[in-house]
Amino acid sequence: MNTVFEALKWASSCLKEAGRDENAAEILLLHELNTDRSRLLASLHDSISNLQLDRFSSMVKRHAEGIPVQYITGKEYFYGREFVVNEDVLIPRPETEEVVLFALSKIETVFPGEKGLRAVDVGTGSGAIAITMALENCELFVTATDIAQASLKVASENAKRLGAKVEFVCGDLLKPLVQANQKADIIVSNPPYISLEELDTLSETVRLHEPVRALTDGSDGLGFYKRFMEELPNVLADRCIVVFEIGHTQGEAVRSLLLNAFPQAEVQVKQDINGKDRIVYAVIAKEEAVPS
């Protein structure tokens, strides 16, 4: 394997044989050569050094063994920005970009022209939601919570690298806000919503390598949404937008939970670009909460 083309051909074959996506070979080679796709294609017949080949081969073999490409390269793109990721955080997904886009548009509709609104990203992980919202709407005061200090370390690094002003707080769900007696105008969350039963059906690259705490509640996948209903009344501002990412089978269940807790709220289920239920949102006035 003396040329870029030969290295790429070998890697694609190796990954195909292992049952992985062959396209990952190109991603890994782009990372190793620190180049872009157009330059890579223009250099297919260039030679590749032994050191580069050794490092590239190691990355290919690690992915063949099931380690996600993003954990090998240490990065993933979200909303057009590069985020640092490692095994302490969930890898950001395109579906979550749609959640952020929806939340930002809903803010403009519900709070037109208002400044100084407090937005909270609950269970921030890599910080993708919180950081993106802070960068896309600089008028927001954004707080991000997570129960894991290791995740907050990654999120803080991403905020610093991307120049986002976000307050990071360690704690379980909305408890940091409750303890600080803080209220929120916007609450966004992509909680662990995969059921324990469904977890076994996921690919091993996800199931064995991404943090289990960020994937499942260890039960039916609705546990965190149920806890939200108990804690939300304690942190609602006079009017609040709540936006949840959900599993594609959970739309009506989460909608019902919100309506039971806030009967007068505006609650809807939204589908993603693939036509699957992906978002449940509510616009809630504080007085609409049902006393627990």
**pLDDT average per 10 residues of sequence, the chain (292 residues):** 91 94 95 94 93 96 96 97 97 97 97 94 98 97 97 98 98 96 97 94 92 93 97 95 97 97 96 96 77 50
Is the domain of 58 the same as that of 106?
no
Q: What pLDDT, on the 0 to 100 scale, is given for residue 2?
A: 84
Q: Give the number of domains in the chain.
A: 2
Burial 246-284 (b: 16+ CB within 10 A, else e): bbeebbebbbebbeebbeebebebbebeeeebbbbbbbb
The answer to whether 3 is a known ligand-binding residue is: no
> Do residues 135 and 247 share a domain?
yes
Q: Which domain holds residue 43?
A: 4-65
Question: Are 100 and 48 in the same domain?
Answer: no
Q: Are 118 and 60 members of one domain?
A: no
**Residue 126, annotated as binding a ligand:** yes
The pLDDT value recorded for residue 289 is 54
Q: Are 244 and 142 contained in the same domain?
A: yes
Q: 78 lies in a domain? A: no
pLDDT tens-digit readout, 238-284: 999 999 999 999 999 999 999 999 999 999 999 999 999 999 999 99
Do both 45 and 158 map to the same domain?
A: no
Please check if 275 is assigned to a binding site: no
Q: Is residue 79 part of a domain?
A: no
Note whether 197 and 257 are same-domain residues.
yes
Q: E strand or H helix at 76, and its extent?
A: strand 75-78
Asked whether residue 263 is marked as a ligand-binding residue, the answer is no
Contact 127, 76 (CB under 8 A): no
**Residues 140 and 211 reside in one and the same domain:** yes
Is 146 annotated for ligand binding?
yes
Cα separation, 192 vs 218, in Å, equals 9
Position 287 scores a pLDDT of 63
At CB < 8 A and 24+ separation, what contacts does 258-261 make?
A: 258/229, 258/282, 260/229, 260/290, 261/229, 261/232, 261/233, 261/289, 261/290
Residue 145 annotated as binding? no
57 is in an annotated binding site: no
Q: Could you tell me if 61 and 91 lie in one domain? A: no
* Residue-level pLDDT at 80: 96
137 & 271 share domain: yes
Q: Is 71 labelled as part of a ligand binding site?
A: no
Asked if residue 202 and residue 92 are part of one domain, the reply reads yes
Handedness of CA 254, 256, 260, 266 (dihedral sign): positive
190 part of a folded domain:
yes
Q: Is 23 annotated as a binding residue?
A: no
Q: What is the pLDDT of residue 186?
A: 98
pTM: 0.93
191 is in an annotated binding site: yes
